[in-house]
Amino acid sequence: MNDLHAIAARLDEAARQAVPIAQLAPDVALSLEEAYFVQRASIERRISRGERTVGVKLGFTSRAKMIQMGVDSLIWGWLTDAMLEEDGAQLALDRFIHPRVEPEVCFLTRRDIDRPLTLLEAAQYLEAVAPALEIIDSRYQDFRFSLEDVVADNCSSAGLTIGPWTRSFDGLGNAGVVMRVNGRVVQTGSCAAILGDPLRSLVQVSHLLSQSGLMLPAGSLIMAGAATAAVSLRPDSHVHCIVNGIGSTEFITHRGSS
């Protein structure tokens, strides 16, 4: 029997101290169900310290990410208020282990999501969409994990910036994405890389929540998943992401303490 609460505590501490732990698999083989239990238990620890969930994120919604990380299924995790950074923020890197950044879009929901949605009705559940940058930081050594390991680790969630919200969803399905670091283009892609259309992320979230017997309240954030592979974050970097027709978001990293 795996002690799921003990695993949640180890992962939570690893994140708090910014010190990695050994990968769980193959020594500790969690089922996917157990992995989501660990994820929930680690979020409960954050909530008991005063953090608040603000929405959910999807992972591995693009081929580029699946190939980069060697996994082949979609996963989901929780976003808390402590992960939200101001657009344009200056971020100290010492609170992370080996952070990476990836370009995404973020949705703001307009209605409770309490049942499985179809693609046709998805847009009616949205208030707005914004360009986003996600900082992921696996709590496992060398950023290596099995699918169950990364689920237990709340899908490597660590931080995000969100650009200005817009209500124009036209063109989102195939909007071009460019991520720059210090002016140099490091990733290019299209929102079509996200399940063929990022709106499908909303559909997937609705199905995943309903399978778990959960409801997402109106006013929640949904990170659709990265459109391209992630890039390692270094100090003194200006990271900028533009999503054509939607907008841009950015942040600056520094070595110092937070």
- Kindly state the smallest distance separating residue 134's Cβ from Mg ion, in Å: 4
- The site for ligand OOG, by CB under 6 A, has a size of 13
Degrees, nearest 5: CA angle 52-54-57: 125
Q: Is 187 in the site for ligand OOG (CB under 6 A)?
A: no
Within positions 79 to 138, which residues make up the interface with Mg ion, using CB under 5 A? 134
Other beta carbons less than 10 A from residue 54's beta carbon:
16
Q: Between residues 41 and 155, which has the closer beta carbon with respect to ligand OOG?
A: 155
Within positions 216 to 235, which residues make up the interface with Mg ion, using CB under 5 A? 226
Residue 155 interacts, among ligand OOG, Mg ion, none and using kind-specific CB cut-offs from 5 to 8 Å, with ligand OOG
Single residue of 99, 131, 225, 247 touching ligand OOG by CB under 6 A: 225
- Per-residue binding string, Mg ion, 182-201, x by CB under 5 A, is --------------------
Candidates 19-27, 59-67, 84-92, 124-132 — which segment interacts with ligand OOG by CB under 6 A?
59-67
Beta strand 221-223 with 90-92: parallel, antiparallel or unpaired?
unpaired
Q: Is 60 in the site for ligand OOG (CB under 6 A)?
A: yes
Q: Between residues 63 and 167, which has the closer beta carbon with respect to Mg ion?
A: 63
Amino acid found at 133 = L
Tell me which residue of 65, 113, 40, 109 sits closest to 225, measured CA to CA. 65
Q: What residue ranges bind Mg ion (CB under 5 A)?
A: 134, 226
Q: What residue ranges bind ligand OOG (CB under 6 A)?
A: 59-60, 65, 69, 102, 134, 136, 138, 150, 155-156, 225-226
